[in-house]
Structure 1
C-alpha cells in the first residue's frame, strides 16, 4: 500500500498542483485521511467510509428537499402522494422529502392580467395559454359590421384549492370565458357604440358576466376589472372608415359653429325685443298717467271756476305769466294810464353787456 503521508521528498497529488499548506493544516488533513481510511486517490475505500458518505449525502438531500420558502404574496398548497393535504401561509416551512410532499406556490395577493389582441413585454400571465391574438380581436357587431377589439382582464386568485384542482388549465379557461363574453356583449351593440359612446357600458356588462361564469365554474378566480383598449375597423376598410369619421367630425364642427352663432344672435335679439316692449309699456303708462292727471287738474279747475269765475281767470292769468315771463330776455311794460315812458334799469342784463 502506498504511503499516504507524503513528505517533502514525495509530494502528494494536492501538493503537486498547489502550494504546500502550513504544518497545522497538514496535520488536520493527515488526521482526516487516517480516519476516513484512505479515501484519497490510491487508497482502498473501506465500507464504513462509503456508509458515512452515503448518510451525509442522504441527510443533505433530505434537508434540501424538505426546506422551502413561501413568498409574502403567495400561499403554498401541499399535496401528499398527490392528495391535497394543507395550505401553508408565507414563510419558511418543512415538508416530507423525496417527493412525498409537493408544494405548489399560488399568488393570492398579486393582481394578474390577461391581454387580448396585444402583449405588453414583461407582463405576461404565467397561466396564459398561447393563442392567436388576431383571431381573438375579430368580432361582429350587432349591425353586422366587423371590428377589432383589444381588451385586458385583471383578476386575482381567490381560492387556491379550486384554482388548482377544480378546473383543468384555469388560465386558458378564463381566456375562453373572457373571449366568449366579450363577443356576446359586442354583438349586442352597433359598431358606432362599440367605438365611441358604448365603451363604459361594455366594460361593466362584460365584468358582471365574467364574474358570474367564473363563480359558476368554481374556478377560484375573482375578476377585478375589464378594460377596453384599442377598437378599430378591419384593415381593408380602415381608410374608408377614417374618411367617414372625418366627415362626421366635420359635420359636428359645423353644427357646433351654427349653434354658437345661434346662441350669440338669438339671445341678443330676444334682449332687444324685451327692451323695446318694456320701453313701450313705460311710454304707454306715462301717457296714460299724464292724461289722467291733466283731466283731474282740469276737472278741479273747472269746479273752482264755477264757484268764482273772475278770481279763477285772474289766478290762471298770473300763473301763466309766471311760466312765460322767465323765458323772455327783454321786458317792456306799457301802462296806458301813464303820461310818458321813463327809462328803466335793465336788471336782467349781466354786468359787462353792451346796452
Structure 2
C-alpha cells in the first residue's frame, strides 16, 4: 500500500509537470516566439496556449508590442562651424505583422535606430546655420523620422515619432549669443528712450511756441482794446461838446491810463515797472506820441 501511494503521487507530479510544460500564457500587448528544435514555429498572441512538452517547443522570446522610447545624445556641427549637442528621443514599436523579422533580423534594435538617426542628423544639420537649426528643429526631426522609418520598416519596426528635445551649442558660443542678444536689447532700449526724449522735447517746444503765440495774440488784442477804448473816449468827449482840443483830450486819457497803471502795480505784488515819477511825465509821453503820429 505505501508503494502504491508513492507511485500515485509520483504519477500525479509527472502529469502536473507535463501539463505545466505544455501550457503557457501570453500577456496583453505581448507576443511570444515559439521555436521547435531551434527553428521558428509560430508567433503566439495574448491568451493561454499549448506547446509540445519535453523541450520540443521552446519560448524563444517575449516581444513587447507597446511603444518604446530610445533616448540618445548626438553631437554634430552646423554650417557656421558651431558644434552642438542634440538630445533626441525616438519612439518606436514592433510591427505586429512582421514580428518574425523584428526578432530574427536585428540583434540590438536600439543601437541600430541610434546609428540611423546619427547618420541622418549628421547629414542634415551641417546644411543649416545655428539660428536656422533652432528655427527648423521640428522640420529636421520630421525629416529624420521619415528616413529612419524607411530603413527600420524592413526590419519589422515602426518609427512612431522622433523628437529633438534639446539643442545645446558650445558653452562659449552660448555665452556669446547671450551677450549679442543683451546688446541688441540694450540698443533697442536706448533707441526707445531717445525717441521718448525726442517726443518730450518736441512736445515741450510746440507747447512753448503755442504759449508764445497765444501770449502775442493776447497782447495784440489787449492793445487793440486799449486803442478802441481811447478812440471811444475821444469820440464821447467830442459828442459831449466839450471845448477841448485833441491834445488836451489825449492828456486827460493818458493821465487816466497812468493812474490805472499805478493801481495795477500796487495790487500785483513784488514787480518792477518803469514809469515817469510825476504826472508831468505823462505830458512828455503824450508829446512824443503826437510827434510820432504827425511824423507819419
Deviation readout 1:32-57 (Å, 9 max, x if unpaired): xxx223xxxxxxxxxx6775455333
Aligned to 1:89: 45
Please state whether the residue corresponding to 1:93 is helix, strand or coil: strand
Aligned to 1:249: 181
Deviation readout 1:5-35 (Å, 9 max, x if unpaired): xxxxxxxxxxxxxxxxxxxxxxxxxxxxxx2
Q: C-alpha separation between the residues in 2 aligned to 1:138 and 1:231? A: 10
Q: C-alpha separation between the residues in 1 aligned to 2:69 and 2:90? A: 5
Deviation readout 1:89-111 (Å, 9 max, x if unpaired): 21122222232222332222x11
**Which protein has the bigger helix share?**
2
Using a 3 Å threshold, how does the CA distance of structure 1 residues 147 and 52 change in structure 2: closer, same or farther?
same
* Contact 1:146/1:191 (8 A) holds in 2: no
Using a 3 Å threshold, how does the CA distance of structure 1 residues 138 and 53 change in structure 2: closer, same or farther?
same
Using a 3 Å threshold, how does the CA distance of structure 1 residues 247 and 165 change in structure 2: closer, same or farther?
same
Using a 3 Å threshold, how does the CA distance of structure 1 residues 251 and 55 change in structure 2: closer, same or farther?
same
For residues 158-237 of structure 1, what are the structure 2 equivalents within 5 Å? 158=95, 159-194=98-133, 196-215=134-153, 218-234=154-170
Q: C-alpha separation between the residues in 1 aligned to 2:157 and 2:192? A: 52
* Contact 1:157/1:163 (8 A) holds in 2: yes
Aligned to 2:76: 139
Please state whether the residue corresponding to 1:144 is helix, strand or coil: coil
For residues 28-177 of structure 1, what are the structure 2 equivalents within 5 Å? 35-37=1-3, 52=8, 54-103=10-59, 104-108=61-65, 110-117=66-73, 137-158=74-95, 159-177=98-116
Structure 1 unaligned runs (5+)? 1-34, 38-47, 118-136, 268-327, 332-355
Root mean square deviation, CA, Å = 3.7
* Contact 2:82/2:173 (8 A) holds in 1: no
Deviation readout 1:148-188 (Å, 9 max, x if unpaired): 22211111111312201233332322222222222222232
Please state whether the residue corresponding to 1:200 is helix, strand or coil: helix
* Contact 1:141/1:188 (8 A) holds in 2: yes
Aligned length: 211
TM-score (norm 1): 0.49
Using a 3 Å threshold, how does the CA distance of structure 1 residues 74 and 192 change in structure 2: closer, same or farther?
same
